[in-house]
Structure 1
């Protein structure tokens, strides 16, 4: 029996088969360059940064605790402060630190598909929101990372406030005697997130009535703390940074000999001051809170498996 297909008809069928083959090859190539990429997860720890020698021991402690809790996790670092990065790069022994955007771009170039960006800020203020915006710009980028999640700063939930209050109360100087106070001094901000400092004070007072929270640039102010110290008839206070690291603010604004430092002002008010130059991240109990926030961010990333 003769076929009803004409030569032009056969050519059309052959062309269709060829087209379908090319489409299949194209889809396979697209998968090889995009969807079929193996999953690669990592953590980017982002701090404001410090140029004070030895202060970064606090950062080292957080990374150590993180790797103990999540063995095998790839950890990268970034400093958000341009001033600190430039100062470190121009020192006698130059150190190159990436900005958050630079670090994420490098991770993207190294084929990381899922990245947890962990803020080492104390409160979710301006620095945290700027970091979140940067991280969001990398999430789902064509031929880039599939997903980026941002871990919350130290104080973000009621549970964080209670855990930090417990950790600070336990870390108070052992040599402190009855009637002596401990004052935890944070940076402070005009951002609405400053409310976390008086919130922390509330939970801290449940643990220790002579433990106070103050800020350099926010509220509670130094005057607020002085009034509380006077009302409690305190004659001696330990000044402890409520900062991840004991950097410039700790050495100058809190413990310095300048006329406007906390140490100088409280001393003039008749209160003997003992600065304790340790960042909160040096405390294992505080570092554990940041590590838990990293775990939560990693959980947000999900999996392709």
Structure 2
């Protein structure tokens, strides 16, 4: 979209589409005014203001562009706070609605929206509502489809488990713990973290999943680790990016970080500051979801 376009103009564009009748849109098609097909991809993440976290997004984008070399790729961040922080640094990212409005203005007819969230929680459901809104516009896209987050089906649990087990540093010794830190949520989809925790335990009883804001928590894990006499634990993100939670809540110097809490228990820690989307084997699971929806455009 040309830079001279304003937010106000985009709002007017979307508003007109909402109020135009399906009959008027069909009338335009009948007179040969159907737009030529133009397919695009919108990648949607929560976002991060940490420069180091961009490695995850860059890797995802590279994988997507390799798989779809002729398809334009756009980005949107769902976090208003993150967008505001980046804007203050001179880096502009659109919300999902704004990104889709711009794509509509650019003449895209078919759009695959791919969620880069880990679970189908509140953020994903908000995203789905926005996509549904654009889908209902009578003069909007001819087709718009939404790809599922990393964990959305039973087969994803197996694929993600196997991929993440392969990311554990080779120097880890038998008996040493690995704790994956997830975000966690009060949304019912938090059950995916609990399911992942169980799945890891079936393969390796010294691999755990904890969450910052859900269940299991670090406290749920500590007693089990201490009972085994574990003296070393690897801390690894179960988040797409190594952003604020990873660098502060997981591996930060503060007294309430997981690293500090474990140190107080006499457990030495090794922190891996690498988001899941930085690993091709995990990024490709998101890509599989995107390829599925794109094939149905």
Fold conserved (TM > 0.5)?
yes
Select 2:206's aligned residue among 196, 210, 221: 210
Confirm or deny that 1:120 pairs with 2:100: no
Select 2:137's aligned residue among 125, 141, 148: 141
SS in 2 for 1:251: helix
Offset of 1:80 from its aligned partner?
A: 0.6
2:14 — aligned with what?
A: none
1:265 — aligned with what?
A: 261
Comparing 105-114 with 223-232, greater Cα deviation is found at 223-232
1:175 — aligned with what?
A: 171
SS in 1 for 2:249: helix
SS in 2 for 1:156: coil
2:107 — aligned with what?
A: 111
Select 2:46's aligned residue among 42, 45, 48: 48
Select 2:62's aligned residue among 46, 61, 64: 64
Select 1:226's aligned residue among 204, 212, 222: 222
Once superposed, which parts of structure 1, at least 4 consecutive aligned residues long, lie more than 3 Å away?
26-29, 32-35
Offset of 1:34 from its aligned partner?
A: 7.5
Whether the 8 Å CA contact 2:232–2:269 is kept in 1: the answer is: yes
Confirm or deny that 1:200 pairs with 2:192: no
Confirm or deny that 1:101 pairs with 2:97: yes
Residues 264-303 of structure 1: CA deviation (Å, up to 9, x unaligned)? 11111111111110000001100010000101121332xx
SS in 2 for 1:84: helix
SS in 2 for 1:78: strand
Q: TM-score, normalised by structure 1?
A: 0.86
1:90 — aligned with what?
A: 88
Offset of 1:233 from its aligned partner?
A: 2.0
Unaligned runs of 5+ in 1: 1-25
Change in Cα spacing, 1:116 to 1:254, as seen in structure 2 (3 Å) is same
Offset of 1:79 from its aligned partner?
A: 0.6
SS in 1 for 2:210: strand
Unaligned runs of 5+ in 2: 1-23
1:12 — aligned with what?
A: none
Residues 176-204 of structure 1: CA deviation (Å, up to 9, x unaligned)? 11211111000000000000011011221
2:3 — aligned with what?
A: none
Specify the structure having the higher radius of gyration (Cα).
1
Q: CA RMSD in A?
A: 1.8
Q: TM-score, normalised by structure 2?
A: 0.88
Offset of 1:114 from its aligned partner?
A: 1.2
In 2, distance between residues paired with 1:70 and 1:201? 34
The 5 A counterparts of 1:157-172 are 157-172=153-168
2:274 — aligned with what?
A: 278
Confirm or deny that 1:80 pairs with 2:78: yes
Change in Cα spacing, 1:98 to 1:192, as seen in structure 2 (3 Å) is same
SS in 2 for 1:300: coil
